[in-house]
Structure 1
Amino acid sequence: MTDKTILVVGTYDTKNDELNYLCSCIAGQGGAVLTMDVSVLGDPARPADVSKHQVAEAGGSSIHAAIDSGDENVAMQIMARGAAAMARGLHDDGRVDGVIVLGGTMGTDLALDLSAALPLGVPKYIVSTVSFSPLLPPERIPADVQMILWAGGLYGLNSVCKSSLSQAAGAVLGAARAVEPPKRDRPLIGMTSFGKTVLRYMVTLKPALEARGYEVAVFHATGMGGRAFESLAAEGAFAAVMDFAPQEVANHLFGGLSAGEDRMTNAGRRGVPQIVAPGCYDLVDFVGWRPAPPQLADRPSHAHNRLLTSAVLAPEERRQVARAICDKLADASGPVTLLLPRGGCNEWDRPGAELHDAEGLAAFCDEVVASCPANVRLAEMAAHINDAEFTDRALAVFDAWVEEGVIPRP
């Protein structure tokens, strides 16, 4: 008897031994496997459950077209499209409970597309020679993907890479057995923030929204958190969003820890009601253990820890951030309220605090007022973002939308 089925994906022409070892480890623990071959030139030692021809056809092409292109990048993008479509179909049909993809840079490129096609809660593991590498852009990393470094795995089996593969087999099967998928039994509110030392509104808002019958997920807006937030917004997972920490917009503009160019756009595209505020708009995060990027080297900064440091933007740069935020909100198809706390937008910019800049704050606020698009309701207040007045105003907007039917009741 087997309880869970794992989709095992890779190029079975060149990594047959490694993939079969992975399959045997899963089977040895009582799991079942379904194999998918994403090879192009060669053939596996024995047929896979999903052949490379089926994969290429699902990608809108054929193996012959991939070969005839004469370009390995073009060929693998055909296979990536097909593998993503096939994996989603297999999951939707209830045939697989998790997926594991094995590869180098080519296989990892494909694995990111395949993993992104699967919903949150489906265990998805990538065993790669470039796991955790800066080669991997944040905007392509799915919200709940797991990665394992394939040490010693470039070519052929050995005791070093078997250690990685056997752990990966146990991890994906264990995850498929243990996972508690999102229940979706209450409307979900997506919120962005940072730790309580800099932004504190979630301490009040989360219990208040839960008391109203909603579920609240708070995303840490330091690059990957924003990426996860955007991927779920794109799926339509949120009943409403409180996007109060759009700092990743500034990060993307000025070379910080980006969440991708589509940050602050996906909820709008889906028509999801948005309550927005500019928490930490004035900061650009960079890797704390590296020298500051040249464009930020002369700025006042705050070191959160040894991993993360934030530099402060100049007044004209803050105007640029204001325009970027307003441009993104202008494309929203659903209702948007922009809360503008003129008293400050993070704890470090209060009067007397280390990063206070009255001129910069005024420049940002003035530019927001000047650039705010017609589809956005602007609500200015004298308060600081961490004051009770801010959370009271956010809840007032939320409650009004519930009464109007804009946000569904629990």
Structure 2
Amino acid sequence: MSVVIVGTLDTKGEEIAFARDVIEAEGLDVHLVDVGVLGDPEIDPDTPASDVAAAAGTTLEQLREDEDRGAAMEAMGEGATAICQQLYDDGVLEGVLGLGGSGNTSIATTAMRSLPVGVPKLMCSTMASGDTEPYVGARDVAMLYSVADIEGLNQLSRQVIANAALAMVGMVANEPDVEVEERPTIGITMFGVTTPCVQQARGLLEDRGYETIVFHATGTGGRAMESLIEEGVIDGVLDVTTTEWADELVGGVLNAGEERLEAAGEAGIPQVVSTGALDMVNFGPRDSVPEEFEERQFHVHNPQVTLMRTTVEENVELGEIIAGKLNDATGPTALVLPLQGVSAIDAVGEDFYDAEADGALFDTLRSEVAENGVELIEADAHVNDEAFAQLLVETLDGYMQEVGAAPTDG
């Protein structure tokens, strides 16, 4: 068994050597990937920095001559990604550990995010106590705060680095006792305000023999689902909650990027899509909402989450965007509209009930969805009604049967 350590051996050689020794003392092999560009390595690497640079289509000499630290970090991240992927394909990499400050954290986690979910990934970093989203992204990257800077060995750094090394040993050396069933897997998107729908749908799907993975539609959740679709982990999609597009369009904090709603269509797998939580844009605490939105309608979900109602105009744009994404799909695709409301707070008597805004969304989708490519289904129900969940499941299960991907014993 082998652990790959990604580090800048020109500045962190002593600390990385200590981590290597801890791991090797536990009986595992270590492969050192040097991503330092400033000078000669303090300890011998298994993959030298020159090879990492070459994997990114450049040279160490060029990176040093350019004197552009940002460009050098980007290149070494690209090279480390290629190296780690090759080591994984060759069976050398069974876990990857990174140690360092902002530079190596960026490089090492770039490589980590390229590896499949389930491969142990741990970054011991000075950056681990702040906003870790740029480093973790939509992958299972674990981050351990180093407390002090990783600069020299002392009573504190030895303990933290040893803990990181032993954590990696534990993950690599111990096969998890996890039951794995070969069942068709359905990706489902959920928000708090669409939870009743998803819980009912998940139960119905599992009763029919499907495995389900639920993604919280918080930006990273949507990106994670799209990524796993691309990897072939997910066989069908029940995209109940497309709210991330509202944040992408308006400027909320939970956007999933412009590629959201593309992976299933490109992969040609069955997808059933709805309009869950498109009535809202997400922000942090109430006082964090940009001043430009001050006159809008808000709902304080909790002290850390403030929701803003989408307008008629925004819903027209959302309808155009979603229809455009679905029209490009190459596999069976349905768009199911809950005409009585798209979230728990978008129902008669609730804070975000707005028949005009919802109507603008539905009318736009009706006019923009391609009749020859997308099945448009309208339900006189609320998104959280049991009947709506049943309709979603029956539609998706029908598509899965059509393409021969349904459970054989469901």
TM-score normalized by structure 2?
0.91
Per the alignment, do residues 355 and 205 of structure 1 end up closer, same or farther by CA in structure 2, a change over 3 Å counting?
Answer: same
Written as runs of structure 1 = structure 2, the 5 A alignment for 1:38-49 is 38-49=35-46
2:244 maps to which of 234, 244, 248? 248
Find out whether 1:226 has 2:222 as its counterpart: yes
Match of 1:401 in 2: 399
Find out whether 1:205 has 2:201 as its counterpart: yes
Q: Which moved more, 1:34-43 or 1:393-402?
A: 393-402
Q: Secondary structure at the match of 2:64?
A: helix
Q: CA deviation at 1:290?
A: 4.8
Q: CA deviation at 1:198?
A: 4.1
What is the CA–CA distance in structure 1 between the aligned matches of 2:7 and 2:258, rounded to whole Å?
Answer: 30
Written as runs of structure 1 = structure 2, the 5 A alignment for 1:4-403 is 4-131=1-128, 133-134=130-131, 136-137=133-134, 141-153=137-149, 155-178=151-174, 180=176, 183=180, 185-195=182-192, 198-256=194-252, 257-288=254-285, 290-374=287-371, 375-403=373-401
Per the alignment, do residues 148 and 368 of structure 1 end up closer, same or farther by CA in structure 2, a change over 3 Å counting?
Answer: same
Per the alignment, do residues 233 and 341 of structure 1 end up closer, same or farther by CA in structure 2, a change over 3 Å counting?
Answer: same
Per the alignment, do residues 135 and 190 of structure 1 end up closer, same or farther by CA in structure 2, a change over 3 Å counting?
Answer: closer
Per the alignment, do residues 247 and 163 of structure 1 end up closer, same or farther by CA in structure 2, a change over 3 Å counting?
Answer: farther
Per the alignment, do residues 287 and 170 of structure 1 end up closer, same or farther by CA in structure 2, a change over 3 Å counting?
Answer: farther
Per the alignment, do residues 400 and 318 of structure 1 end up closer, same or farther by CA in structure 2, a change over 3 Å counting?
Answer: same
String of CA shifts for 1:98-136, please: whole Å, max 9, x gaps. Answer: 101123222122123201210010011122222254485
Per the alignment, do residues 255 and 179 of structure 1 end up closer, same or farther by CA in structure 2, a change over 3 Å counting?
Answer: farther
Q: CA deviation at 1:187?
A: 1.6
Q: CA deviation at 1:262?
A: 1.9
Q: Decide whether the 8 Å contact of 2:296 with 2:309 is kept in 1.
A: yes
What is the CA–CA distance in structure 2 between the aligned matches of 1:8 and 1:288, rounded to whole Å?
Answer: 39
What is the CA–CA distance in structure 2 between the aligned matches of 1:408 and 1:57, rounded to whole Å?
Answer: 45
What is the CA–CA distance in structure 1 between the aligned matches of 2:169 and 2:256, rounded to whole Å?
Answer: 30
Q: Secondary structure at the match of 1:241?
A: strand
What is the CA–CA distance in structure 1 between the aligned matches of 2:148 and 2:205, rounded to whole Å?
Answer: 49
C-alpha RMSD over aligned residues? 2.3
Q: Secondary structure at the match of 1:202?
A: helix
Q: Decide whether the 8 Å contact of 1:112 with 1:141 is kept in 2.
A: no
One-letter amino acid of the counterpart of residue 298, structure 1: E
Q: Decide whether the 8 Å contact of 2:12 with 2:150 is kept in 1.
A: no
Q: CA deviation at 1:70?
A: 3.4
Q: Secondary structure at the match of 2:288?
A: coil
Q: Identity of paired residues, percent?
A: 36
String of CA shifts for 1:218-266, please: whole Å, max 9, x gaps. Answer: 0111122222212212212111111111111111222222222322222
String of CA shifts for 1:21-71, please: whole Å, max 9, x gaps. Answer: 222332344443221111123121231111112222222333233334332
Q: CA deviation at 1:318?
A: 1.7
What is the CA–CA distance in structure 2 between the aligned matches of 1:171 and 1:155, rounded to whole Å?
Answer: 21
TM-score normalized by structure 1?
0.91
Q: CA deviation at 1:94?
A: 1.7
Count of residues paired in the alignment:
405
What is the CA–CA distance in structure 2 between the aligned matches of 1:222 and 1:290, rounded to whole Å?
Answer: 20
Q: Name structure 2 gaps, 5 residues minimum.
A: none
Per the alignment, do residues 243 and 153 of structure 1 end up closer, same or farther by CA in structure 2, a change over 3 Å counting?
Answer: same
Q: Decide whether the 8 Å contact of 1:120 with 1:182 is kept in 2.
A: no
Per the alignment, do residues 261 and 148 of structure 1 end up closer, same or farther by CA in structure 2, a change over 3 Å counting?
Answer: farther
One-letter amino acid of the counterpart of residue 167, structure 1: N
Q: CA deviation at 1:398?
A: 1.9
Q: Which moved more, 1:6-15 or 1:313-322?
A: 313-322
